[in-house]
Amino acid sequence: MTKYLYYPGCSMETSAKAYGFSLAKIAPLLGLDLEEIEDWNCCGATEYLGISLTPAYALISRNLALAAQQANGSRTVVAPCSACYLNLAKADYYMHEQPKLAQNVNEALSAGGLSYKPGSLTIRHLLDVIIYDIGLDVIKSKVTRPLTGLRVAPYLGCMVPRPDYEKRWSDPEHPIELDLLLKALGAEVIDFPLKTHCCGGHMTQIGPETAFELIRRLIASAAQYQADIMVTLCPMCQMNIDAYQGEVNHHFGTVYHMPIVFFTQLIGLAFGLDAKELGFGLELVSARKALEKIGIEAPEPAPAAPRPRKQEGLPMPKPLPNKATKLSEKGKVEK
């Protein structure tokens, strides 16, 4: 077993439960010993950095300080979420690059009896660890149910391959690691041109129309390549493409049905684990049909009351939602 300090991040327990469930299932099989950082806090996502400097970095660094304190046998922190991974890596890197930042952050940390020495931990993303520490050979050797016939679009999004301070990936714009992993599972991997393009990030909350177009491009491209399913490593990407797909269809008058799941879920399937235990069925755009194609039965979608898709067709008062957004987005001048 290889030991790591584990920083789950907020979404693993909420919107990305399927990621958390499937990781918990495959970790022992891969020999990954993930020791959760005790009492970790939110990394601030992409929000805190835009509000203030020292507090944002102090928030991130409390986790680094706790991890360093807890470190025992391993000084590598693993994060499954792209934004968490980048924030932790960035804080470590910038405090190294700019001692003044490290000094301020440490002064803040001292108010809580903590400290952190930049460079004393290594921050890595889960996929990086699975590919480069565990290795494709080990993964291949555990495959009992190859995903033969499943056409997958490998989708990494932005913050894992970029900016890549430590040059861990094969390429910041077209890395091949996720492709290789999915091939090792027996899947048919499309050469997805938008694999590191943006999912819209927090723009789904702020300027939905900007986000919808970014999401549409991704789904349209995957569909054009006749992918059955998209595979991601980021809770935010999954959320945007899955939960907002109905909205995107509604907005553009399209009828896409492109499920998106986490790479850990597909690893689990190929290892012969039960689809339900891997969190299949939690996605809003059901992956059932894609799995049926390779003879795997996925759980029935949860009996949602009221069912989301029906809801869209109900004669609800919809006072020109698009115009309303435009108004509040563009024309409005704040008092």
Partner 1 sequence: MALATDIKPPPSAPKLIEDLTFLNEVVERTAGVSRLEMCIQCGTCGGSCPSAADMDHTPRMLFAMIRAGMRQAVLMSNTPWICVSCYHCVVRCPQNVHIADVMYTLKSMAIEAKLYRDSTAPDFSKTFVDMVEEYGRSYEFGLATRHYLKHFPLRLPGMSPMALGMLTKERMSIRPKRIKNIKQLKAILQRAKELDVKAQRPVA
- Residue 81 tokens read as 């979420």
Say whether residue 35 binds partner 1 (CB under 8 A): no
In angstroms, give the least distance from the CB of 229 to partner 1: 18
Strands 229-232 and 260-262: parallel
CA angle 205, 89, 5 (to 5 degrees): 105
In angstroms, give the least distance from the CB of 69 to partner 1: 12
Cis peptide before 306 (omega within 30 of 0): yes
Structure-token match 């990407």, residue found: 237
Say whether residue 42 binds partner 1 (CB under 8 A): yes
- Site stretch for partner 1 (CB under 8 A), options 135-143, 175-183, 222-230, 302-310: 302-310
In the list 117, 145, 162, 168, the residue contacting partner 1 (rule: CB under 8 A) is 162
Task: State the DSSP H helix or E strand holding residue 64, giving kind and residue range, or none if neither.
Answer: helix 53-70
In angstroms, give the least distance from the CB of 61 to partner 1: 9
* Contact by Cβ (8 Å): 93, 165: yes
**Measured from the CB atom, is 49 or 79 closer to partner 1?**
49
Say whether residue 146 binds partner 1 (CB under 8 A): no
Nearest to 157 by CA among 130, 137, 178: 178
Say whether residue 186 binds partner 1 (CB under 8 A): no
- Site stretch for partner 1 (CB under 8 A), options 69-77, 109-117, 127-135, 147-155: 109-117
DSSP state of 167: -
Say whether residue 15 binds partner 1 (CB under 8 A): yes
**Measured from the CB atom, is 140 or 309 closer to partner 1?**
309
Coil vs helix vs strand at 169: coil
In the list 14, 141, 170, 224, the residue contacting partner 1 (rule: CB under 8 A) is 14
**Measured from the CB atom, is 29 or 220 closer to partner 1?**
220
Coil vs helix vs strand at 260: strand
Say whether residue 255 binds partner 1 (CB under 8 A): no
Other Cβ atoms within 10 Å of 134 Cβ, number: 16
